[in-house]
Amino acid sequence: MFRSLHPDNCTSCTVCTVHCPVAAATGRFRGPKMTGPAYERFRLSGLHDDASVEYCSNCKNCDISCPSGVPVSTFNMLARGAYHKGKKTPLRDLLIGFSGDIGRLVRHIPAFLLNFGMKNPVSRLALDNIGLDKRAALPSFAPLAERRQLAALRRLPVGRRKREVAALFPGCFISCYEPRAGLDIIAVLEKAGYDIIVPEAFVCCGLPLLCAGLMDAARKRAKQNCEEAARLAAQGIPIISPCPSCSLMISEEYQALFSEEDIGVGPGRVHEAATFVLSLAEQGRLDLSPARPMAEPLAYHAPCHLRALGMGRPGFELLRQISGVRIEDVNAGCCGLAGSYGMKKDRYEIGAQTGSTLFAALRENGAELCASECGSCRTQIASGVGVATSHPLSLLKRCLF
């Protein structure tokens, strides 16, 4: 199939350059226009050695700001894949890229062991040595029981198929570190009349692999997820993900990155959970009157990938419709972690610098609890500002039950 992704929509206008948080933080990055569409013209003539593409954090603010509809970050990720082809991947990037698989491998190991193993000073030093900055916040594995509880929802108990069924694509972050949030979301969806399954066949969406330049491994994940998605689609089961990045990767990026031979007709839409719940509320299927008041003021941070989905700020909209909830959208740009970008030793400063605007805005806001749909944003905010964080739907559950 002819790759119809070409750089012709770009006018070189530099709107993406002035909106790029990485370019704002470091001069080492050539900027999205240069590494993306401008260099694409050279890549088509056989030049592939631009190391600057390594600096792109894939946050997608270029795509969001582009007045010409150029998929700038997709160019960057494809270029990174090509740049890495045939090169040896560093251990750190393998660890990050395959973190989903690793999480699956250790699914029967208790959290305290994992967290001690990962976070004790010796390990952090060792990780630091391979390029995972020792200052970076790492998420903690959730208690074994919770992880098991979420994973156990592989299929519905026999005889319970009386209501509409939806499938949850929890994403690696929720599966490993915050299964509680996954269970909260399931509770909200059940309240709206759904029975939820968490299909075992779903694997990591492949985004961390893509960002590590491991294109082949990402393609393999995409293929498997698409097969499962097709199976669910045949039964009319919608797929919902609490993670905006997984939703974006599966719903939109797969088709841009991989050919039809790889992924068939594509996975269709994976609904971002807050968007899905908001539309249920719109349809009157979910009553938003609170069962108990939410006394504390909330801050809200919109993850970049959520904004890229073009669905507005559904988590924010939901919460601010609940009477008594006081919530402010701090609207201060990228958190800087961008998945695992800001954990890397040579990127830590960039991530911290990028996040500083958001941190300052959150401190000024003063709320003790910050809602955000993205797990990696939550990790960064918790460590950078020291406030508690939560998925908006977890907070919704707290209000409604």
Partner 1 sequence: MRATNEATVVIIGGGATGTGIARDLAMRGVSCLLLEQGDLCAGASSRFHGLLHSGARYAVDDPEAARECARENAILRRIAPECIEETEGFFVRHARDDPAWETRWASACLECGITAGEIDPREARKLEPGLTTDVRAVYHVPDSAVDGFRMVCHNAMSAARKGAKIRTYMRLTDIEISNGRVSGVWARHRGSDEKSFISCNYIINAAGAWAGEVARLAGLSVSVSPDRGLLLAFNHRFTGRVINRLRKPSDGDIFVPHGTVVIYGTTSVPVQRPDDISIDVDEILRLLQEGETIFPQLRDFRLLRAFTGTRPLYTPDASAGRSATRNFVILDHEESELQGMATVTGGKFTSYRLMAEKAADLVCSKLGVTAPCRTADEPLLPVPSEELLQRARNVFPVEGLGLAAARLGDNLEVAVANAERSPWKKLLLCECEMVTLVEFEAAASQYSGLSLSDIRRRTRIGMGTCQGNFCAMRAGAALAEIENFATVPPRQMLEDFLEERWHGIRPLLWGRQLREVELERGIYAALLNLKGPLPQALPTGGYKTGGSSESSAVARNAAVFVGMEYDAVVVGAGLAGFTAALSAANRGKKVLLLASGAGVIAIGCGSIDLLGTLEGKAVSGDPFAQFDKLEPKHPYALIGAQEVAAAVDFIARRVAETGLPLCRADVGNVWLPTAAGTLKPVFMTSPGMSPFGLYKADAVAVVGVKGLKDFSPHLVAHGLSELQLLAGKTFTPLVLDAPRHFEQRGRDVTAPDIARFMEKPEGLAWFCKELSKVLSPVAAKARALLLPPVLGMHSVALIHKKLEERLGLAVVEAVCPPPAVTGLRLQNALRTALRKAGVVMFDNVTVTGSIVKDRRCQGLVAQQGDIQRVFRAKSCIIATGGLFNKGIATRPGQAVEQLFDIPIVAPSLSEDWSNDRFFSCEPHVFASLGVATNRDLQAVDKQGEPLLGNVYFAGRVLQGYDFAVEKSGSGVAVATGYAAGNKV
Interacting residues with partner 1 (CB under 8 A): 1-4, 6-15, 17-19, 23-24, 26-31, 33-34, 37-38, 40-42, 44-45, 47-50, 52, 55, 63-69, 251-252, 255, 266, 268-269, 282, 307-313, 317, 320-321, 328-329, 331
Looking at the Cβ atoms of 71 and 179, the one nearer to partner 1 is 71
CB of 143 to partner 1, least distance (A): 36
CB of 361 to partner 1, least distance (A): 11
Residue 33 phi, psi dihedral angles, 5° rounding: -65, -40
CB of 16 to partner 1, least distance (A): 9
Looking at the Cβ atoms of 111 and 400, the one nearer to partner 1 is 400
E-strand ranges in 244-392 read: 270-272, 298-300, 327-329, 369-371, 388-390
Looking at the Cβ atoms of 4 and 235, the one nearer to partner 1 is 4
Q: Which residues contact 381 (CB under 8 A, 6 or more apart)?
A: 301, 335, 358, 359, 362, 370, 372, 387, 389
C-beta separation of 172 from 377 below 8 A: no
Distance of CA 387 to CAs 246, 264, 298, 355, Å? 25, 44, 11, 14
Residue positions counted in the chain: 401
Looking at the Cβ atoms of 19 and 80, the one nearer to partner 1 is 19
DSSP letter string over 235-287? Answer: TT--EEES-HHHHHIIIIIHHHHS-HHHHTT---PEEEHHHHHHHHHHTT-S-
DSSP secondary-structure letter at 132?
B
Chain position carrying tokens 């319970």? 160
CB of 200 to partner 1, least distance (A): 25
CB of 82 to partner 1, least distance (A): 13
CB of 293 to partner 1, least distance (A): 16
Pair of tokens at residue 178: 């915050």
Looking at the Cβ atoms of 29 and 341, the one nearer to partner 1 is 29
Looking at the Cβ atoms of 248 and 393, the one nearer to partner 1 is 248
